[in-house]
Amino acid sequence: MAKKYINLKFLKKIKYYNNILFLFKQNFIGKLIKKGNKTYALSYFNKFKYLVKSKFKKDFNMLLFFVISISLIKFYFIKKRFGGSKKEIPMYLNKTRQVKFIIKKIFNHSKSLEKQKSIDLNKLVNLFLLTIKKKGFLVSSKRKAFIKAKENKILVKSLKK
């Protein structure tokens, strides 16, 4: 117990940990505000927090950081036309855009079946739990993006010259 407490204290001192959590909460609540009002967004975020805590019985911020660090996508792809064929060139993302891409994917994947614009809280929690177990949509999309970028690495080197 003392070792976990020390690790959490140590993580809170790291600037990267604080920035990532702040960006996630800011963008997550910001996306919810676009769909409704501020009180709805905060209550929805608190419900999400409660459900995750009840499933894992650990610190929510620590779990959130773990999920974000597992699913961070370091690059995105720009489609360029070279000699009659389209190629996808990997471009690196900064930290804020990485977090925004994750939130966008989370929201797109956790939409309700009945109402297209509303977000299903159970799907959101299940996606969160699958990511912690290193399975699910976010981890697989990260792997696919990494493989695609590795294949197009030669193309990027030739463009820099």
Residue 141 and residue 105 in contact, taking contact as beta carbons nearer than 8 Å: yes
Buried b (16+ CB within 10 A) or exposed e, 69-105: ebbbbebbeeeeeeeeeeeebbeebeeeebbbbbbeb
Angle 138-139-141 from CA coordinates, rounded to 5°: 65
* Residue 151 pLDDT class (50, 70, 90 cuts): confident
Domain total of the chain: 1
Residue 81, domain CATH: 1.10.455.10
Q: What is the pLDDT of residue 11?
A: 61
Q: Is the dihedral of CA 81, 90, 64, 122 positive or negative?
A: positive
Share of the chain above pLDDT 90, in %: 0
Domain of residue 139, residue span: 2-160
Radius of gyration over every alpha carbon of the chain, rounded to an integer in angstroms: 18
Q: Find the helix or strand (DSSP H, E) in which 152 lies.
A: none
Inform me whether the pLDDT recorded for 85 exceeds 70.
yes
3-state SS, 97-149, equals HHHHHHHHHHHHHCECCCCCCCECHHHHHHHHHHHHCCCCHHHHHHHHHHHHH
Residue 141 and residue 74 in contact, taking contact as beta carbons nearer than 8 Å: no
Q: What is the pLDDT of residue 52?
A: 86
SS3 86: strand
SS3 92: strand
* Residue 1 pLDDT class (50, 70, 90 cuts): very low
Inform me whether the pLDDT recorded for 156 exceeds 60.
no
* Residue 10 pLDDT class (50, 70, 90 cuts): low
